[in-house]
Amino acid sequence: MPDQKQSILLGGLVTALLSTSYLGFINCLCCAGVIIGSLVTVWHYTNTHELTITSGNGALLGLFTALIGGVIAIILNYVLMQVGLGANEAIMNMVLNNFADQMPPEQVEAMEAQMEAANTFGAYIMNALFGLVITAIFGVIGGVIGAAVFKKGNGAPANELDIQM
């Protein structure tokens, strides 16, 4: 089986970029960023090696893509959160800038306290691990869709992938 590492890394980077900071909002659409990253992986792999893969192989490619992209996104989001460019800060600023004058002061203070509690390292890690599980599930879905869509070669699916990281 041809090497798949380059395809997984490419799709992982796409997943990570589409899951970072403000671009991460695309994942509100059924994890579209994760599915797109998995589709890129399967497309690149099947196109580069001119072959058709099974849905199981697509699922594996999507899973590894999502896990790599998810870990990169967790690191990037943490760095961006530390410099004040995280998605939580964007949401909080939007709400406060647009609706704070219509809310009681106690509610504004409660929102600020809740956002500060969510920005602790422990809360971030717990949310990141939960997000990684969801990311993996949607990566598998994207890989299966990609295997069904991107068919190359003689049409016969290739044997199982030997994924070695």
What is the Cα–Cα distance from 44 to 42, expressed in whole angstroms? 5
- The amino acid that residue 89 corresponds to is E
Predicted TM-score (pTM) of the model is 0.80
- Residues with Cβ within 8 Å of 63's Cβ and at least 6 positions away in sequence, in order, are 136, 139, 140, 143
What is the Cα–Cα distance from 71 to 6, expressed in whole angstroms? 17
Residue 165's pLDDT is: 56
What sign has the CA pseudo-torsion 37, 121, 84, 104? positive
In this prediction, the residues of the chain whose per-residue pLDDT falls under 70 are 1, 119, 153-165
Secondary structure (3-state) at 21: helix
Q: Which residues pair with 67 in a beta bridge?
A: none
What is the Cα–Cα distance from 8 to 142, expressed in whole angstroms? 13
Instruction: Give the number of other CB atoms < 10 A from CB of residue 125.
Output: 12
Residue 154's pLDDT is: 64
- Work out the burial of residue 76: count CB atoms within 10 Å of its CB; fewer than 13 is exposed, 13-18 middle, 19 or more buried: middle
Tens-digit pLDDT profile for residues 15-38: 999 988 777 777 778 889 999 999
Residue 156's pLDDT is: 58
Rg (C-alpha) for the chain, rounded Å, is 19
Residue 29's pLDDT is: 81
What is the Cα–Cα distance from 15 to 134, expressed in whole angstroms? 13
Give the DSSP H/E element, type plus range, for residue 105. helix 105-118
